Amino acid sequence: MSIRPPSRRNDRTGYLPRGHSFPPRRFKVVLHKTADKDLMFVARVVMEITRFGTAEAEFRMWEAHHRGRSLVVVTHLERAELFVEQFADRGLSASIEPA
């Protein structure tokens, strides 16, 4: 049985028991299509940055190539910003969206 009144049991702004915290906000890292880069270069960069295997990196590369964008990872804000910076350093376009 909850110690909160019935009107506030599902309210996340109320009391939290000791040791509990709100889950962190999550953000999507989206890779965008780049026409001037070789497809295998894109796959290699995805493998280097994310540590995905060959098949997963190639799937992300083909998805970005055919659909114009590909969801790479969902993570917390600081790591998402790091991924976007790393893609930009290698000449690829990526963005962050709320999950």
pLDDT digits (tens, 9 = 90+) for 13-45: 556 667 777 777 999 999 999 999 999 999 999
Position 29 scores a pLDDT of: 98
Residue 11: which pLDDT band, with cuts at 50, 70 and 90?
Answer: low
**46, part of any domain:** yes
Full residue range of the structural domain in which residue 78 is found: 32-98
Number of domains in the chain: 1
User: 53-66, pLDDT tens digit by residue?
Assistant: 999 999 999 999 99
E strands, the chain, are: 27-32, 69-75, 94-98
Position 21 scores a pLDDT of: 72
**3, part of any domain:** no
d(CA 61, CA 43): 6
Edge-to-edge strands of the sheet including 94-98?
A: 69-75, 27-32, 94-98
**48, part of any domain:** yes
